[in-house]
Amino acid sequence: MRAFPIILSAPSGGGKTTIARQLLRRRSDLGYSVSCTTRTPRQGEVNGTDYHFLTREEFIRRREAGDFAECAEVHGNLYGTLRSEISRILKSGLHVIMDIDVQGARQIRKAFPDTVTVFVLPPSGEVLLDRLRRRKTESPEQLVARLHSALQELRAVEEYEYVVINDELDRAVLSVSAILDAEVVSRERVSGLRNQVEMLISRLEAEIDHQSS
């Protein structure tokens, strides 16, 4: 089975990163693509594990070199996913799970057309607001900017193949895991059918050649 990328997107505070981490703990067929960013590390974040923390100059240099499969500026900081990071994990036989925003998902789909996309929704607007407010790491202006971004993300939900409601973490994790399993089975079936069709075509072509000679 050929490995493929799977993207989780959600409004800020929607829980996509937590779901991705849970899936990585539970499944041995997944690898995580560590993104790059120019923002300052939060307390407890580890360079190379949570993000590759780059200077703005280094990020721009790598962007101009075409190193990123996707990149965007969000709330004044640059974020991006390295093509080499995705390819490395896929070549190892693992599916690549990424938690990125809508802008990034659009770019990844162009670079890797077989990507599976999942949008994670909070159960209600009040829950989403509560999750955003509980961070307490941002100014009122930054919170407003996140609210505007969340609104834009929600308007893009129809671009996604699957939608999962994160009303209870374990259930949401199981839902995304089931999507991954279904995609694996579906792609194996399609691959098997294609092989079968090619065999049938070859047999018929040989018979036609025989009958025509």
Domain ranges of the chain: 5-187
Give dist(CA 106, CA 31) in Å, integer: 20
Q: With 70 as the cut, is the pLDDT of residue 190 above it? A: no
Give the mean model confidence (pLDDT) for residues 149-170: 89
Query: Mean pLDDT for the chain?
Result: 87
Residue 207 pLDDT > 70, yes or no? no
* Alpha helix ranges (H) inside the chain: 16-26, 56-64, 83-91, 102-111, 125-134, 140-154, 169-212
β-strand pairing of 77-82 with 95-99? unpaired
Percentage of the chain modeled with pLDDT above 70: 90
- Model confidence, pTM: 0.78
Q: What whole-number distance in Å separates Cα of residue 187 and Cα of residue 25?
A: 24
The tally of CA atoms less than 13 A away on the side-chain side of residue 148 is 8
CATH 3.40.50.300 fits 5-187, yes or no: yes
Mean pLDDT over 44-66 rounds to 94
pLDDT of residue 12: 77
Please report which confidence band the pLDDT of residue 57 belongs to, taking 50, 70 and 90 as the band edges. Answer: very high
CA dihedral 178, 184, 189, 195 (to 10 degrees): 180
CB distance 81 to 68 below 8 Å: yes
Q: How confident is the model at residue 151 (pLDDT cuts 50, 70, 90)?
A: confident
